[in-house]
Amino acid sequence: MTIKGAQGPGRAGLLLTLGVLAWAGAAQAQSLDEIIEAAVAATGGRDAIAQIETVRHTGSFTMGTDFGPIEGSLEIVIIPNQKMYQALISDLFSQRSAWDGTAAWQSEAFTGTVELTGAAAANLRNQTALDGFQAYQNPVFPDAEYAKADDEQVDGRDHFVLEISVSGIPYRYFIDKETHLVTLLTLEMDVPEVGGVIEVTVRPSEYERFEGVLMARRTQLSIPGIYDLDMRISETVINEPVDQAIFAKP
């Protein structure tokens, strides 16, 4: 199935967990260092985050396409700073992708299983971080760069803006000054199928704490010219054993 010029949900499907990892962050301070430290503290703090060894999300998604909505189930598994796996399953397609610690792959019914390189692989690697602020001064992500941009408004509310580049991929995090939450994440992505560079937007919401760490239970993702995606997490399991085989390329 081809959706608006893309082969299935393939190219853009690599971004599906971005919003799930855009967790809450405090925004009380003005300097870059202070904002990041406050963000980590509001998420649960470094000690609480360090206690998380595995995360497994399961739930459902609705994908808006030119052919009507597609509904299915989702699964996301993370071993922080090491590995990640994600799967989208519906009656119309199945897609699985992973970062196994050294390389990335993706498997679809229409295209088979392929090894991912460049930005596609880097994006999956970046998603092993438990939030967008964990890569800051973290030796696991030596190429991470952070900067504070000018404040902006989102939906009529004042926000701090942090520009974060990890593995050459530029993200912009918008942090609500009043609620101290990340309410919007944007990313520029080159998609030749739709004519070049597009801006992907991710809106995390419905935050809930698990083992003291705040996570978003809903993520709305928009990839112009390809699809809109509404993901809802129904169950989150922390620090339970995971099947290591899911990370291996089939």
Single-letter amino acid code for the residue at 44:
G
The single residue listed with the structure tokens 């608006």 is 4
Rounded-to-integer distance, Cα 21 and Cα 80, Å: 11
Residue 16: what pLDDT? Answer: 45
Reported as a single tens digit per residue, the pLDDT across 121-178 is 988 998 898 888 878 888 878 888 999 999 999 999 999 999 999 878 889 999 888 7
Instruction: Give the pLDDT of residue 50.
Output: 92
pLDDT, residue 45, reads 87
Give the model confidence (pLDDT) of 83-113 as tens digits: 999 999 999 888 999 999 999 999 998 889 9
Please tell me the predicted confidence (pLDDT) of residue 12: 45
Give the tokens for residue 48.
Answer: 């609480």
Strand partners, 199: 188
Of the two residues 117 and 73, the one the predictor is more confident about is 73
Fold classification of 2-247 (topology level): outer membrane lipoprotein receptor (LolB), chain A (2.50.20)
pLDDT at 210: 94
User: Would you state the torsion angle of the CA atoms of residues 101, 105, 107, 113, taken in this order, to the nearest 10 degrees?
Assistant: -130
Where exactly are the structural domains of the chain?
A: 2-247
| Backbone angles phi and psi of 142, in degrees to 5 | -65, -20
Q: How confident is the model at residue 1 (pLDDT cuts 50, 70, 90)?
A: very low
What contacts 140, CB < 8 A, 6 or more positions away?
81, 129
Residue type, 152: E
Task: Round to whole Å and give the CA distance between 246 and 19.
Answer: 22
Which pLDDT tens digit goes with each residue over 2-60? 233 333 444 444 444 444 444 444 444 488 988 888 888 888 888 999 999 999 999 99
pTM: 0.83
Q: Exposed, middle or buried by CB within 10 Å (0-12, 13-18, 19+), for 156? A: exposed
pLDDT at 227: 85
Residues 222, 15: contact at Cβ < 8 Å?
no
Q: φ, ψ for residue 46 (rounded to 5)?
A: -60, -35
In terms of Cα–Cα distance, which of 39, 11, 62, 58 is closest to 179? 39
pLDDT of 27 reads 41
Name which residue leads in pLDDT, 70 or 225: 70
pLDDT attached to residue 9? 44
Helices (H) and strands (E) counted in the chain, each on its own, are: 5, 15
Q: What is the pLDDT of residue 67?
A: 83
pLDDT of residue 51: 95
pLDDT reported for residue 103: 97
Q: What burial letters (b/e) apply to 21-57, b meaning 16+ CB within 10 Å? A: bbbbbbbeeeeeeebbbbbbebbbeeebbeebebbbb
